[in-house]
Amino acid sequence: MGEGLRTGEKSISRSKAELLFTMLLFGTIGTLSRFIDMPSGVICLGRAFFGVIIIIIVITLRKQSLD
């Protein structure tokens, strides 16, 4: 039973770290976009394109299906 708790605690701390990382990324968007001389629509399109590319790379590396 103790081993299961450690696994659960590990996944909880990993989830918190992932949430923190995501919040940091989203928190810097406004600050960084001030220094980019482009319309906000172009910045959003670029971010979406970059995100899709990263997701495709991760799925390919993990050899997961797109179910």
> Rounded to an integer, what distance in angstroms lies between the CA atom of residue 23 and that of residue 13?
15
> DSSP class of residue 55?
H
Q: Where are the domains of the chain?
A: 1-35, 38-67
> Rounded to an integer, what distance in angstroms lies between the CA atom of residue 47 and that of residue 45?
5
pLDDT digit of tens for each residue in the chain (67 aa)?
444 445 566 688 888 988 998 888 888 887 877 888 888 888 889 888 998 999 899 889 988 777 7
pLDDT at 9: 64
Q: Residue 47 carries which side chain, given as an amino acid letter?
A: R
